[in-house]
Chain A
Amino acid sequence: MKKLFPLFALFILACSDNNSEQIVNMYSQRHYDVDQLQYDNFEKTTGIKVNVIKANADELIQRMKNEGENSPADLFITVDVGKLWQASDMDLLQKYNDEGLTEGITQSLTDPNGFWVPVTYRSRILVYSNERVQESDLSTYEDLANEKWKGRLLVRSSSNSYNQALLSSLVANLGEEVTQNWTEAVVSNFARDPKGNDRDQVKAIAAGQGDVAIVNSYYIGLLLSSENEEEVNAGKSISVFFPNQEEGQRGSHINVSGVALAKNAPNKSNALKLIEYLTSDEAQEIYVNNTYEYSVKPNIEPNNIVKEWGTFRKDPLDLNMLGSKRSDAIRIFDAGGWK
């Protein structure tokens, strides 16, 4: 054992390079390849090194909470705005207090409370089988409760945060009781028990196991740009539908991937620079063309694959509601038997 200690000490030293280089520490729920690309670009232009820990948002929140004042975290970035709301609700964030930071960003995507800055957004949309469903059959999320969809709906588990955010938006827009009835009806329309991820729902449509699925928009982009020809074919066997677009309807549900300053950020000015970079036109172009998400800036066009689906109207709900209504949503999922 004794022989190990020097090795150990050496390793710890090697891990903690405490020189005075410029850094910013990021706790990230995003783990796409493109993120590292962004951080590398940022370091190239500013000389500030981005240190990252990637994990589940809840784990990161828990870690920040327990680290307390000593937390090394400067920034917290998530793919679900509800988690940013939760972090702010737990007093783990500080306001960015810089109007300039959200300049050029679509107003409705920003945080009215000033805690988080949106980086990209995505819509939770419907996709349908080209063979078995007419576009005119579809209209709204609410309509999925209709009996005509019995045995035809596909969606993943209720433990998935995208589904939780969608249901939170329904609770916020329609109230608990209506949402409860909706959930029960939708569950009774399921083609199978919820399982798999979003792409699996699309594949299940292609395989004929169901006709309509609720998925995040960018997964369709990823399928269509896949190197596996069969995945592209599966992607082509379905079409994209943005629900709730008619006049008087509220628009399609969206969710934001956003970034916020940690309460005790030790490298605050570097952190603000990174936020500025991530929302710059250059970084936004990189996002839309790699992950098929939507840019938060109206002047940045979506990737061509995404553009083909056309434009859509977004649900103007205060996005913080996707967090604050979360616990109601979970209860409704459980009561409605959505596994």
Chain B
Amino acid sequence: MNKLLLILAFSFTFLNASDIGVGSALNALNDYKYETPHGRDMRVPRMQKLIVVAFEKSTGDLVNKYLKTKDPYYLLKNDATFIADISKMPTAITKMIAIPQMKKYEHLVYLNYNEEFSKSFPVKKGTLTLLHVDNYKISNISFVTTQKELIAAIEK
């Protein structure tokens, strides 16, 4: 009986983890908090077709470098959101270098500071995670490494 209760408790915990995957509601992303570089709270909007997530500096730089060449509303008008997970960045680096740099961006970046975030997401080292959304649900997940692939996904 005790073993059964233990299994049930473990299963319940597992089922309640906010794992983001195919079939997940887009709104599940709002279980996490996001802020702009200026500290303004944000929520992932409802009408999105693509969520671009960067977990490393290199992949974040790839996105930012491209978006700096485009109109500030480019992602927005393509129903896409860019999330940068900076939870693992050292605080001093975040505060003294990264944030001041990001404040200069004209495009919108959602920053995540929660270390639990990456544990709930499909992550592949050296790649951007792309969540493709259809009818408010994640319909597909892909991983890209080049600007060309990124553009193709955004402008699909």
Indicate whether A and B interact: no
